[in-house]
Amino acid sequence: TRPLAYPAARRAPYCDPQTGQTHDCNPPHELAGFLTKQSEWIRDWRRRHFVLKGDRLFFAKNEWDRPHGMIDLRTCTTVKSAEMKTGRKNSLEVSTGDGSTFWMYAETEKEKDDWIGAIGRAIVRCSSTYQDDAVYHSDDEDEGGGDSSGDDSQNPYK
């Protein structure tokens, strides 16, 4: 059993080896829990504790260790189910714009769906497409019965 002080324990920050920046991955965070991840080099499967915080997905050997890896979701394009590709139940893949893919699986289908939803929302939040869509307007906005009087003085987008 774990000591009672465990829930109050704080995890050391992740230090990005490329930039030297540190990232806090203690609560509050969007989602945390165990997934089994395929290692990048050896390609074996290892159970890791993941923390989704903002636009980063951190992973460590357990809940209290300093994270030893991070997936920057700002570089990711998709997250989706991957049972057919991995041959493992409840698996998911996270793909980046440069062609890298991270493979993971959860214990249950609900956990897999929770992770896909949370990671997907994080990718959308930090994608330039999402930011551009927030201010997007069409030159054809009058096509569906809108005011076609030609007076654009009330339209802030024209």
Is the domain 12-132 a CATH 2.30.29.30 member? yes
What pTM does this model have?
0.74
Average pLDDT estimate for 7-36: 86
Judge contact between 48 and 59, C-beta under 8 A.
Answer: yes
pLDDT at 25: 87
pLDDT at 48: 98
Query: Residue 89 pLDDT more than 80?
Result: yes
Domain ranges of the chain: 12-132
